[in-house]
Amino acid sequence: MSIMVVTGGNRGIGYAVCERLAGEGHKVLLVARDAEQGREAASRIGGDVQAVAGRLDTAASVRRLAAGLRDRCARIDVLVHNAGIWPARRTLTEDGLEESFAVNHLAPFLLNHLLEDLLGRVVQVTAGLYAKGRAEPGRTSVGASFSPMRTYADTKLCNLLTVPLFAERWRAAGTTIDAVHPGVIRTGLGDRGGPLGLLLKVAKRTWAAPEEGARHVVSLTGAPGTGRYFDQDRQVPLQGPALDAELARRVWDEAETLTAAR
């Protein structure tokens, strides 16, 4: 039985991923920020699904989550980084970092380091909007020039820049990592109030269901290969700043410093 860990597993794409993996007979560790919501989600799915409470907004909370996962399993066949936020306003964490940068980028980076000796495969859920982002070490991390759309794209770009570096780091060990944009999916990501929120709610009615996005994520959990980017079910080349090797190294070095991951 394979052991699968899914962050942000209590709703949206993450919930659908957990549901699908459990249906395939895997043991699933469903990571949720809220313990009660995690337990409720695991109970609804049934099968061998265990809820794990874990916040991803500070280095300390990520370290606690990693320790909890180690207590539960001696190996992790697949780690799915699904949790993410689309910020409506600039919010700083206890570490003094912009919240979406911490959750979307630093948390996967640090978890990869803390659990790497247990990992068989990593699937990073990302967004096609990365191509609109700019990674600016020293600025993106604190939400300088914040805007909801731009900052979300920036954090996804930062995260995606590290995927090829992890692939190379783990090559000798045989651990693999790929990233996937699951499509434009109808979830609660980015929900907000006011006129803009109402317009978004109406637009989402035409978007694909979470189960469709989950299909693309789950298909990669058993796929061979590493260091690739998929747009739904198609492998496509990275674009723009995501190809900048020097920038990738600067983003990596900054993340190491901010998380003390060395």
Answer yes or no: are the C-beta atoms of 59 and 260 closer than 8 Å.
yes
Tell which residue, 156, 179, 188, has the closest CA to residue 11. 188
Please give the Cα distance from 222 to 152 (Å, whole number): 28
Known catalytic residue: 130? no
- Of the candidates 60, 33, 55, which has an alpha carbon nearest to the alpha carbon of residue 258? 60
How many CA atoms lie less than 13 Å away from 90 in the CB half-sphere? 13
Identify the active-site residue in 15, 130, 152, 229. Answer: 152
Rg (CA), the chain: 17
Give me the amino acid identity at 124: Q
Cβ atoms of 88 and 143 closer than 8 Å: no
Placement of tokens 């723009």 in the chain:
240
* Catalytic residue ranges: 152
